[in-house]
Structure 1
């Protein structure tokens, strides 16, 4: 799918979507889509739309915004919370689980100067990411085999760093790829192929499993 078609889809379906519908899933995917196209301003607009469904004082999600004609409907709306998580991880985190690599293309969250993803798991490795306006700090927290097999490639810097446990590597914010030296396949272009977004559903399972492991 071309970039032009992707953008047209987002524009058209934004207009067609019920503004008071159960919409957090819609706007979360629009957030991801606009960030894939590099339009952070439009993505921020879609992201902020989801906050209409967050109700105080305990920040509980409802199925619809309080101002909708038929009210909030379902409250403690778990799928709405999931939509928010997807927008954060796969939109602003830019995380994509590919067949043999993990790609990131992060952005700073709206209203923040920096934010972090802690305990990101990939093929047995634990990673912490600190995302700032111009750079990303990557720390390898756990190497399961202590063999320095994980490599980080930054497209912006055209650099390759073999990650060591406890080491922090700083790269320019932009597209980057984690891959294994032992796979003997060095990536040359971190951009996901058309249709790679479908892997988001698989990635959600990884993050939700990690989340519930932390909670319970």
Structure 2
């Protein structure tokens, strides 16, 4: 909820901001971007605005590659079309500075490739809540650690425990069958011996019946 601070009444301005937030579905856009950050390690929101010709910027390659900045000429009133959520699997970083750690844009892409289209980085809002060191950024497609990666070992442990409980319920005691092992002990191949053991393992159950021959 937007609120104003101070003595002056900011109700009209707050009403305009609230209306814009609802009209462009800003809350839903950022919610989905946060979900992508959890799934992929990076969430991206494309700022869709009209080009000077009046068409959407993604239809004009030259406009799409140009920097987006706050200006009445660059972004006139009513030119914002909406916020588009782009899954990180469709984007890949273009040019980025990798030779000067003193620069502000060190390991920060200045442009993104979106299915063959070059988009200036200023037109994309990046959400990365778990960043990785600079040396690992290219390996992570300039994203961060996803919650899926972090949760994977815990999920695997839970699945293993669940399966172990199921196995224990089906067989919580040591079972055995009486059979002729003379051929197996002398080193001779006895197919019936292995088949009887395999049959027992397949059919045993706590509610089953053991029959000895």
Q: TM-score, with normalisation over the residues of structure 1?
A: 0.23
Of Structure 1 and Structure 2, the greater strand share is in 1
